Structure 1
Amino acid sequence: MRIRLARPEDSAALLRIYAQYIHSPVTFEYALPTEPEFAARIGRISETYPYLVCEENGGISGYAYAHRQAEREAYQWNAELSVYLDAAAASRGRGTRLYRMLLDILPLQGVRSAYALVTLPNAASERLHASLGFRTMGVQSEAGFKAGAWHDVAWFVKDIAPHDAAPRPLLPVSRLDADVLRRILDTRG
Structure 2
Amino acid sequence: MNEDGRVQDILIRDATSDDAAACAAIYGHYVETTVATFELDAPSVATTAERIAGCQAGHAWLVAQTDDQVVGFAYGTKFAERAAYRWAAEVSVYLDPEVRRGGIGTALYDVLLPRLTERGFQVLTARIAQPNDASNALHARYGFERVGLLRRIGFKHDRWVDVAIMELELAPPAVSPAEPR
TM-score, length-normalised on structure 1? 0.88
1:164 alignment partner AA = A
SS in 2 for 1:25: coil
The number of residue pairs the alignment matches comes to 171
Please say if 1:26 is aligned against 2:26: no
CA distance in 1, matches of 2:113, 2:42: 28
C-alpha distance in 2 between matches for 1:70 and 1:136:
19
What amino acid is the match of 1:97? A
Q: 1:75 aligns with which of 85, 106, 129?
A: 85
Determine the C-alpha separation between the residues in 1 that align with 2:99 and 2:119: 29
Q: Does 2:112 match 1:102?
A: yes
2:15 partner amino acid? A
What residue number does 1:128 align with? 138
> What do residues 84-111 of structure 1 show as CA deviations (whole Å, max 9, x unaligned)?
0001111011101211211111111110
SS at match of 2:35: coil
Match of 2:15 in 1: 6
> Shift of residue 128 of structure 1?
0.7
1:35 to 2:45 alignment:
yes
Matches within 5 A, 1:161-180: 161-171=171-181
Q: Which runs of 5 or more structure 2 residues have no equivalent in the other structure?
A: 1-9
1:91 match: secondary structure:
coil
Residue 146 of structure 1 is matched in structure 2 by: 156
Report which structure shows greater RCO (CA 8 Å, sep ≥6): 1
Shift of 1:70: 1.1
Task: Provide the C-alpha distance between the structure 2 equivalents of 1:89 and 1:161, rounded to a whole number of angstroms.
Answer: 32
After superposing on structure 2, the runs of 4+ consecutive aligned residues of structure 1 that deviate more than 3 Å are none
Cα RMSD, aligned residues only: 0.9
Q: Deviations over 1:62-101 (max 9, x none)?
A: 0000001011111111110000000111101110121121
TM-aligned CA deviation for residue 14 of structure 1: 0.6
3-state SS in 2 of match to 1:10: helix
Deviation per residue, 1:93-144 (Å, 9 max, x gap) = 1101211211111111110111100000001001111111110000000011
Q: What is the CA distance between 1:8 and its match in structure 2?
A: 1.4
Q: Point out where structure 1 has 5 or more consecutive residues left out of the alignment.
A: 172-189
Q: Which amino acid counterpart does residue 132 of structure 1 have in structure 2?
A: Y
Of all paired residues, the percent bearing the same amino acid is 37
The CA distance in 1 between the partners of 2:157 and 2:66, in whole Å, is: 32
